[in-house]
Amino acid sequence: LVIIKLKRDLLAAGKSIEAELFNHRSTAESARLLRKLPRKTRLCTRDFIHNSLYNPHYGYFSKNVKVFSPDSPFQFEKLENSDAFMMELGRLYALNEKESDIQIWHTPSEIFQPFYGRAIGNYILQQFMSDKRGANELVIYEVGAGNGTLMKDVLDFIKEANPSIYKRTEYNIVEISSALIDIQSSKIQDHPVRIISQSILEFEKIESRPCFFLAMEVLVTNV
Protein backbone atom coordinates (compact mmCIF):
# COMPACT_ATOMS: atom_id res chain seq x y z
CA LEU A 1 0.00 0.00 0.00
CA VAL A 2 2.86 2.37 0.81
CA ILE A 3 4.37 1.67 -2.61
CA ILE A 4 1.09 2.23 -4.47
CA LYS A 5 0.59 5.52 -2.62
CA LEU A 6 4.18 6.64 -3.35
CA LYS A 7 3.71 5.82 -7.04
CA ARG A 8 0.38 7.70 -7.19
CA ASP A 9 1.86 10.76 -5.46
CA LEU A 10 4.84 10.88 -7.81
CA LEU A 11 2.71 10.52 -10.92
CA ALA A 12 0.25 13.16 -9.64
CA ALA A 13 3.15 15.56 -9.09
CA GLY A 14 4.38 14.88 -12.66
CA LYS A 15 7.67 13.44 -11.38
CA SER A 16 9.50 10.48 -12.90
CA ILE A 17 10.02 7.64 -10.48
CA GLU A 18 13.66 7.18 -11.51
CA ALA A 19 14.50 10.88 -11.06
CA GLU A 20 12.85 10.91 -7.68
CA LEU A 21 14.76 7.84 -6.59
CA PHE A 22 17.97 9.54 -7.67
CA ASN A 23 17.25 12.69 -5.69
CA HIS A 24 16.37 10.80 -2.55
CA ARG A 25 18.60 7.79 -2.24
CA SER A 26 16.32 4.85 -2.85
CA THR A 27 16.00 1.56 -1.06
CA ALA A 28 15.27 -1.89 -2.44
CA GLU A 29 11.70 -1.35 -1.22
CA SER A 30 11.12 1.83 -3.27
CA ALA A 31 13.01 0.38 -6.27
CA ARG A 32 10.36 -2.36 -6.45
CA LEU A 33 8.38 0.16 -8.51
CA LEU A 34 10.85 0.07 -11.37
CA ARG A 35 10.19 -2.15 -14.35
CA LYS A 36 13.78 -2.21 -15.57
CA LEU A 37 17.17 -2.00 -13.92
CA PRO A 38 17.74 1.68 -13.02
CA ARG A 39 20.75 3.43 -14.54
CA LYS A 40 20.66 6.79 -12.76
CA THR A 41 19.67 5.87 -9.27
CA ARG A 42 21.67 5.90 -6.07
CA LEU A 43 21.36 2.75 -3.99
CA CYS A 44 23.35 1.38 -1.08
CA THR A 45 25.20 -1.79 -2.05
CA ARG A 46 22.86 -3.95 0.04
CA ASP A 47 19.81 -2.40 -1.67
CA PHE A 48 21.41 -2.78 -5.09
CA ILE A 49 22.00 -6.50 -4.43
CA HIS A 50 18.54 -7.03 -3.02
CA ASN A 51 16.88 -5.17 -5.90
CA SER A 52 18.91 -7.05 -8.52
CA LEU A 53 17.92 -10.39 -6.98
CA TYR A 54 14.32 -9.75 -5.99
CA ASN A 55 12.76 -6.89 -7.96
CA PRO A 56 9.40 -8.41 -8.98
CA HIS A 57 9.79 -7.28 -12.62
CA TYR A 58 13.41 -8.08 -13.49
CA GLY A 59 15.03 -9.56 -10.36
CA TYR A 60 17.23 -12.57 -10.98
CA PHE A 61 15.38 -14.84 -8.57
CA SER A 62 11.92 -13.50 -9.39
CA LYS A 63 12.30 -13.87 -13.15
CA ASN A 64 15.50 -15.36 -14.50
CA VAL A 65 16.79 -18.13 -12.27
CA LYS A 66 17.48 -21.46 -13.92
CA VAL A 67 18.76 -24.56 -12.16
CA PHE A 68 20.69 -27.17 -14.14
CA SER A 69 19.30 -30.69 -14.10
CA PRO A 70 20.71 -33.66 -16.01
CA ASP A 71 18.08 -35.34 -18.25
CA SER A 72 18.61 -38.53 -16.30
CA PRO A 73 20.63 -39.21 -13.12
CA PHE A 74 24.36 -39.77 -13.56
CA GLN A 75 25.29 -43.44 -13.76
CA PHE A 76 28.02 -43.17 -11.18
CA GLU A 77 28.88 -46.88 -11.36
CA LYS A 78 29.92 -46.39 -15.00
CA LEU A 79 32.24 -43.47 -14.27
CA GLU A 80 35.82 -44.54 -13.68
CA ASN A 81 36.80 -41.87 -11.16
CA SER A 82 36.08 -38.31 -10.01
CA ASP A 83 37.91 -36.81 -13.03
CA ALA A 84 35.60 -38.73 -15.38
CA PHE A 85 32.63 -37.39 -13.41
CA MET A 86 33.88 -33.80 -13.63
CA MET A 87 34.44 -34.15 -17.40
CA GLU A 88 30.91 -35.47 -17.91
CA LEU A 89 29.43 -32.76 -15.69
CA GLY A 90 31.38 -30.06 -17.61
CA ARG A 91 30.14 -31.45 -20.93
CA LEU A 92 26.47 -31.43 -19.87
CA TYR A 93 26.75 -28.04 -18.22
CA ALA A 94 28.30 -26.49 -21.37
CA LEU A 95 25.50 -27.98 -23.48
CA ASN A 96 22.86 -26.48 -21.18
CA GLU A 97 24.55 -23.08 -21.07
CA LYS A 98 24.70 -22.96 -24.87
CA GLU A 99 20.93 -23.24 -25.01
CA SER A 100 20.37 -20.56 -22.40
CA ASP A 101 21.25 -16.86 -22.37
CA ILE A 102 21.57 -16.77 -18.58
CA GLN A 103 24.00 -18.39 -16.19
CA ILE A 104 22.73 -21.68 -14.80
CA TRP A 105 23.16 -22.89 -11.23
CA HIS A 106 24.27 -26.42 -10.60
CA THR A 107 23.53 -27.80 -7.17
CA PRO A 108 24.22 -31.04 -5.28
CA SER A 109 20.46 -31.76 -5.10
CA GLU A 110 20.46 -32.05 -8.90
CA ILE A 111 23.86 -33.48 -9.61
CA PHE A 112 23.71 -36.24 -7.00
CA GLN A 113 20.01 -37.01 -7.47
CA PRO A 114 18.37 -39.12 -6.22
CA PHE A 115 20.99 -40.00 -3.58
CA TYR A 116 21.42 -36.53 -2.09
CA GLY A 117 17.69 -36.08 -1.39
CA ARG A 118 17.36 -39.68 -0.20
CA ALA A 119 20.20 -39.20 2.29
CA ILE A 120 18.51 -36.08 3.64
CA GLY A 121 15.17 -37.92 3.75
CA ASN A 122 16.84 -40.68 5.75
CA TYR A 123 18.34 -38.16 8.18
CA ILE A 124 14.97 -36.44 8.67
CA LEU A 125 13.23 -39.75 9.27
CA GLN A 126 15.82 -40.94 11.82
CA GLN A 127 15.68 -37.64 13.68
CA PHE A 128 11.89 -37.62 13.67
CA MET A 129 11.67 -41.18 15.02
CA SER A 130 14.16 -40.53 17.80
CA ASP A 131 12.63 -37.18 18.81
CA LYS A 132 11.44 -37.44 22.40
CA ARG A 133 8.66 -34.87 21.91
CA GLY A 134 6.76 -37.52 19.95
CA ALA A 135 5.15 -35.19 17.40
CA ASN A 136 2.37 -36.79 15.39
CA GLU A 137 3.06 -35.01 12.09
CA LEU A 138 6.36 -34.83 10.28
CA VAL A 139 6.49 -31.20 9.13
CA ILE A 140 9.12 -30.06 6.65
CA TYR A 141 9.73 -26.60 5.20
CA GLU A 142 11.98 -26.11 2.19
CA VAL A 143 12.97 -22.60 1.17
CA GLY A 144 13.87 -22.13 -2.49
CA ALA A 145 13.15 -25.57 -3.90
CA GLY A 146 14.56 -24.96 -7.40
CA ASN A 147 13.33 -27.66 -9.77
CA GLY A 148 11.65 -29.56 -6.91
CA THR A 149 14.17 -32.40 -7.16
CA LEU A 150 15.11 -32.47 -3.47
CA MET A 151 11.43 -32.40 -2.46
CA LYS A 152 10.67 -35.37 -4.72
CA ASP A 153 13.70 -37.41 -3.62
CA VAL A 154 13.09 -36.75 0.11
CA LEU A 155 9.40 -37.70 -0.14
CA ASP A 156 9.99 -40.75 -2.38
CA PHE A 157 12.43 -41.98 0.25
CA ILE A 158 10.14 -41.41 3.24
CA LYS A 159 7.24 -43.06 1.38
CA GLU A 160 9.30 -46.18 0.66
CA ALA A 161 11.08 -46.38 4.01
CA ASN A 162 8.17 -45.67 6.34
CA PRO A 163 4.71 -45.49 4.72
CA SER A 164 3.05 -44.89 8.09
CA ILE A 165 5.08 -41.73 8.83
CA TYR A 166 4.73 -40.69 5.17
CA LYS A 167 0.95 -40.54 5.66
CA ARG A 168 1.56 -38.02 8.46
CA THR A 169 4.06 -35.93 6.49
CA GLU A 170 3.51 -32.33 5.41
CA TYR A 171 6.02 -30.71 3.04
CA ASN A 172 5.88 -26.93 2.57
CA ILE A 173 7.87 -25.05 -0.05
CA VAL A 174 8.42 -21.30 0.26
CA GLU A 175 9.49 -20.12 -3.19
CA ILE A 176 9.93 -16.71 -4.77
CA SER A 177 10.25 -17.66 -8.45
CA SER A 178 6.98 -18.23 -10.32
CA ALA A 179 8.86 -20.00 -13.14
CA LEU A 180 10.34 -22.49 -10.67
CA ILE A 181 6.97 -22.96 -8.93
CA ASP A 182 5.62 -24.24 -12.27
CA ILE A 183 8.44 -26.78 -12.48
CA GLN A 184 8.00 -27.80 -8.83
CA SER A 185 4.24 -28.26 -9.33
CA SER A 186 4.90 -30.70 -12.17
CA LYS A 187 6.96 -32.90 -9.81
CA ILE A 188 4.57 -33.08 -6.87
CA GLN A 189 2.60 -36.08 -8.19
CA ASP A 190 0.67 -37.47 -5.22
CA HIS A 191 3.04 -36.15 -2.58
CA PRO A 192 1.63 -34.03 0.28
CA VAL A 193 3.18 -30.74 -0.81
CA ARG A 194 2.00 -27.17 -0.37
CA ILE A 195 3.78 -24.43 -2.31
CA ILE A 196 3.76 -20.97 -0.79
CA SER A 197 4.52 -18.38 -3.45
CA GLN A 198 6.44 -15.84 -1.40
CA SER A 199 9.89 -14.62 -0.48
CA ILE A 200 11.09 -16.12 2.79
CA LEU A 201 12.01 -12.56 3.78
CA GLU A 202 8.30 -11.71 3.80
CA PHE A 203 7.15 -14.95 5.42
CA GLU A 204 5.44 -14.05 8.67
CA LYS A 205 3.71 -17.23 9.75
CA ILE A 206 5.00 -18.59 13.04
CA GLU A 207 5.23 -22.37 12.96
CA SER A 208 4.59 -23.66 16.45
CA ARG A 209 4.97 -27.36 15.61
CA PRO A 210 8.42 -28.98 15.64
CA CYS A 211 9.62 -28.92 12.04
CA PHE A 212 12.60 -29.44 9.74
CA PHE A 213 13.78 -26.41 7.79
CA LEU A 214 15.76 -26.99 4.59
CA ALA A 215 17.50 -24.33 2.51
CA MET A 216 19.87 -25.79 -0.08
CA GLU A 217 22.03 -23.35 -2.00
CA VAL A 218 19.83 -20.45 -0.99
CA LEU A 219 21.52 -17.21 -0.15
CA VAL A 220 19.18 -14.43 0.83
CA THR A 221 20.10 -10.83 1.40
CA ASN A 222 18.36 -9.01 4.18
CA VAL A 223 17.43 -5.36 3.98
Ligand X SMILES: C[S@@+](CC[C@H](N)C(=O)[O-])C[C@H]1O[C@@H](n2cnc3c(N)ncnc32)[C@H](O)[C@@H]1O
Site string for ligand X, 101-140 (x = CB under 6 A): ----x-x-xx------------------------------
Cα separation, 97 vs 68, whole angstroms: 9
Cα separation, 196 vs 9, whole angstroms: 32
Counting residues that bind ligand X (by CB under 6 A) gives 24
Least Cα distance to 151 among 176, 121, 190 occurs for 121
Q: Shortest Cβ distance from residue 156 to ligand X (Å)?
A: 16
Nearer to ligand X, 17 or 124 (CB): 124
Nearer to ligand X, 49 or 79 (CB): 49
Does position 200 interact with ligand X (CB under 6 A)? The reply is yes
H or E stretch covering 159: helix 149-161
81 SS3 class: coil
Nearer to ligand X, 17 or 216 (CB): 216
Cα separation, 137 vs 27, whole angstroms: 41
Residues binding ligand X (CB under 6 A): 61, 65, 67, 105, 107, 109-110, 143-146, 150, 174-177, 180, 199-201, 216-218, 220
